[in-house]
Chains A and B, each alone.
Chain A
Amino acid sequence: MAKQTFTTGQVLTAAQMTSLQQTAMGGGSTTDKTTSYVLVAADAGTTVIMNAAGATTITVNTALFAAGDTVNIQNIGAGICTITAGTATVNTAGSLALSQYEGGVLYFRSASAATFFDYVQTGSVSPLTTKGDLYGFSTLDARIPIGTNNQVLTADSAQALGLKWATPTAVDKNFSLVSSTAFSGSTFTVTGLSGDNLFFQIVGVTNSSASQAFRMRFNTDSSSKYGNASFGYESASAYSANNAQTISNAPDSFASIQLGWFSNNTASAYSGTVMVSGANTAGLKPVQFGGGFGAGGGNTHSSYIGGGIYSGTSAITSVSFIVASGTYASGTLYVYKG
């Protein structure tokens, strides 16, 4: 027997009173719903129990209930039961998604608006169980278990709760040796390079033709994408420590980086280093270099420190060392990346 409007002098039977106790007065038994359910007017004052293994909904529509009507709702099934606003409005400060054995009261403020008060049961307030757990949410509150030491919390839409603890990718900024190769040829090129930063150590390079400039180039790019200047000193005549002059080189020919000049003796040897920052980026790539050319019995002994840029947009995958004449007679190139 659903909620009634009684009239003066009406006499209730025992059966009617029993029915009222079981329905409109909120007591007695009720038949479980095993599939999604749309509330009807006769549910006013009753208890609706959902019992389904899968997810279900209880839909609330307008013009069925009056202000002050209530409907008790329980979910005893394993599937989540969600109270859903159909044509009516349903508000709550809690959750409209009921896990197994959760419940609450749907109170109608008007024929078209209701408030759902979900019961907060002892033991179900928080899903957290373990030190470090986080409070997460999918379609309902849930626990994000603490990860292991040094893991970091990472957004991951593939996870049920959208988050996971994951070991961060190692970022190794230590430089490691890629190759060591003897200089040879008129142009010596190393290919297959990669890395955020490249470091070149050049040891004991000599050339069969004296008085040559020693240059380097990236990606065999001979276009005007280089700029560099250097500062240092070189002897002006027969080498002597007291016969040195300060020099500066203006920006280069812009087709390569100029590291300096061999002396007028083929025994003149260069040793130095070159650092290229951001070698795998599309932006400007700063280049710093420093080194010296031994006189080798020739007149000039020089050393330079310098810097510049390479403005090519491709990542650096190769480097070439160029002399205009002769071939490299000795020397080793060590390539490091980091």
Chain B
Amino acid sequence: MTQYEVIHNVQTNEMTEKEYTKEQIAEANALQLEAEKRAENIAKVEAAKASALAKLAALGLSADEIAAL
């Protein structure tokens, strides 16, 4: 999807649209990369947490005992 900027001039109440400049596209790509890295990191943490919970359960801890940790 083409990215674009919507501009509202509150003094004239004029609304305009313009496509992203090269600089805006480059920045959006960098920010998107950052978002993807963050999502990957969250997924890793979630996976590690699920693995830890499974191991605790395998040791015989109940769900209440795990939650109490």
A residues neighboring B (CB under 8 Å): 178-179, 181, 184-193, 208, 211-213, 215, 222, 236-237, 255, 261, 264, 299-300, 320, 322-327, 335
- In the complex the two chains form, is A190's CB within 8 Å of B10's CB? yes
Give residues of chain B (1-57) contacting chain A, Cβ–Cβ below 8 Å.
Answer: 1, 3-13, 17, 20, 23-24, 27-32, 34-35, 38-39, 42, 45-46, 49
Closest residue of chain A to B39, judged by CB?
A211
B21 CB to nearest chain A CB (Å): 10
Q: A191, A323, A325: which contacts B7 (Cβ < 8 A)?
A: A191
Distance A299 CA – B23 CA, assembled complex (angstroms): 32
B residues less than 8 Å from A185 (CB atoms): 4-6, 17
A residues less than 8 Å from B7 (CB atoms): 189-191
> Can you list 19 pairs linking A and B with CB atoms under 8 Å apart?
A181-B10, A185-B6, A186-B3, A187-B24, A189-B6, A191-B8, A191-B9, A192-B12, A211-B39, A212-B35, A222-B27, A237-B46, A324-B28, A324-B30, A324-B31, A324-B32, A325-B32, A325-B35, A327-B3
Distance A323 CA – B24 CA, assembled complex (angstroms): 11
By CB atoms of chain A within 10 A, which of B9, B34, B38, B39 has the most? B9
By CB atoms of chain B within 10 A, which of A213, A236, A324, A335 has the most? A324
- In the complex the two chains form, is B6's CB within 8 Å of A213's CB? no
Interface residues on chain B, number (Cβ under 8 Å):
30
Closest residue of chain A to B32, judged by CB?
A324
B residues less than 8 Å from A179 (CB atoms): 8, 10, 13
Distance A189 CA – B8 CA, assembled complex (angstroms): 6
Closest residue of chain A to B5, judged by CB?
A187
- In the complex the two chains form, is B5's CB within 8 Å of A186's CB? yes
Q: A186-B20, A324-B28 are in contact. Are A193 and B10 (CB under 8 A)?
A: yes
Distance A193 CA – B1 CA, assembled complex (angstroms): 30
- In the complex the two chains form, is B31's CB within 8 Å of A236's CB? no
A178 CB to nearest chain B CB (Å): 5
A residues less than 8 Å from B27 (CB atoms): 222, 255
- In the complex the two chains form, is A325's CB within 8 Å of B28's CB? yes
Q: A186-B5, A264-B39 are in contact. Are A237 and B10 (CB under 8 A)?
A: no
Distance A283 CA – B30 CA, assembled complex (angstroms): 30
Distance A184 CA – B8 CA, assembled complex (angstroms): 10
A residues less than 8 Å from B34 (CB atoms): 213, 324
Other 20 A-B pairs with CB < 8 A, given A179-B13, A187-B5:
A179-B10, A181-B8, A185-B5, A187-B4, A187-B20, A188-B5, A189-B6, A191-B9, A191-B11, A211-B35, A212-B31, A212-B35, A222-B23, A236-B45, A236-B46, A237-B49, A320-B5, A322-B28, A324-B29, A324-B35
Closest residue of chain B to A217, judged by CB?
B27
- In the complex the two chains form, is B35's CB within 8 Å of A213's CB? yes
- In the complex the two chains form, is B6's CB within 8 Å of A187's CB? yes
- In the complex the two chains form, is A261's CB within 8 Å of B38's CB? yes
B66 CB to nearest chain A CB (Å): 13
A36 CB to nearest chain B CB (Å): 61
- In the complex the two chains form, is B9's CB within 8 Å of A192's CB? yes
Closest residue of chain A to B31, judged by CB?
A324
- In the complex the two chains form, is A186's CB within 8 Å of B10's CB? no
Closest residue of chain A to B23, judged by CB?
A222
Q: A192-B9, A222-B23, A236-B45 are in contact. Are A186 and B39 (CB under 8 A)?
A: no
- In the complex the two chains form, is A211's CB within 8 Å of B38's CB? yes
Closest residue of chain A to B6, judged by CB?
A185
A residues less than 8 Å from B38 (CB atoms): 211, 261
